[in-house]
A = this chain, B = another copy of it.
Amino acid sequence: MKDSVSGINYRFTDQQLLQEALTHRSLGANNNERLEFLGDSVLNLVISSRLYDVYPDAQEGDLSRMRARLVRGVSLSDVASSIGLGQHLKLGEGEMKTGGFRRTSILADAYEALIGAIFLDGGYASCQTEILRLFDPLIENLPDVEELKDAKTRLQEWLQARGRPLPVYDHFREEGADHAKKFYVQCKITDGPISVEAAGDSRRKAEQAAAKDMLGKLQANDTA
């Protein structure tokens, strides 16, 4: 027997829970935000537990990076799309017109809410089955742990491995109004002449861009 969302294998006893999970806040009070709060925690535990078992030699830092990759918005929205969740979402008129059912964050939130609803309806084991059915293939295809590290971490480790000083990030300018700010940063290594500048719409993004650029330059010089 099929559920009303054909891509879900789980069958709800309480159909109300499924309906609540599909209801975006643009439709008012009985929306999926509370279920999303719950489902986010369920998803985290199911994924953490699986990674712990599948990678018995991975250290905490690598496990965290793998989990972050799996539960980030774009991964969840891909999973939501793969089970056709978008067509079943209930959105307010404004969101409908602007194509909200295709938006990454709305899909990702709805997937977490769906997991929260399954948790209340069928318990932890049911969530585990439903989540791993879709996430085990993603876990198998995770990129190498080195690739999962962000640019600042990779730059720092590259320098430390060579006994060199840590990079210094200097935020020398911020531009624009509060909601559309642009951040400028300079990254330099104190024992050498190389410095790079980068910009981004947050301090973090600017630093990551600068670190990536810096690492590229250092590696090019290293093999030159």
Residues of A contacting B: mostly: helix
Write the A30-49 contact mask toward B (1 if CB under 8 angstroms, else 0).
00011011101110110011
Give the number of chain A interface residues (Cβ < 8 Å).
Answer: 25
Q: Among B37, B44, B58, B178, which residue has its beta carbon within 8 angstroms of that of A52? A: B37
A10 interfacial by beta-carbon distance below 8 Å: no
Q: Among B45, B60, B178, which residue has its beta carbon within 8 angstroms of that of A36? A: B60
Write the A152-176 contact mask toward B (1 if CB under 8 angstroms, else 0).
0000000000000010100100100
A70 interfacial by beta-carbon distance below 8 Å: no
A59 interfacial by beta-carbon distance below 8 Å: yes
Residues of B within 8 A of A42 (CB): 45
Q: Among B36, B41, B59, B171, which residue has its beta carbon within 8 angstroms of that of A49? A: B41
Which 10 pairs, one residue from A and one from B, show the smallest C-beta to C-beta distance?
Answer: A41-B48, A33-B60, A41-B45, A37-B60, A45-B45, A41-B44, A38-B52, A37-B63, A124-B124, A38-B48
Give 15 A-B pairs besides A37-B48, A38-B48, A166-B178 with Cβ atoms closer than 8 angstroms.
A33-B59, A33-B60, A34-B59, A34-B60, A36-B60, A37-B63, A40-B48, A41-B41, A41-B49, A42-B45, A44-B44, A44-B45, A45-B45, A49-B119, A171-B174
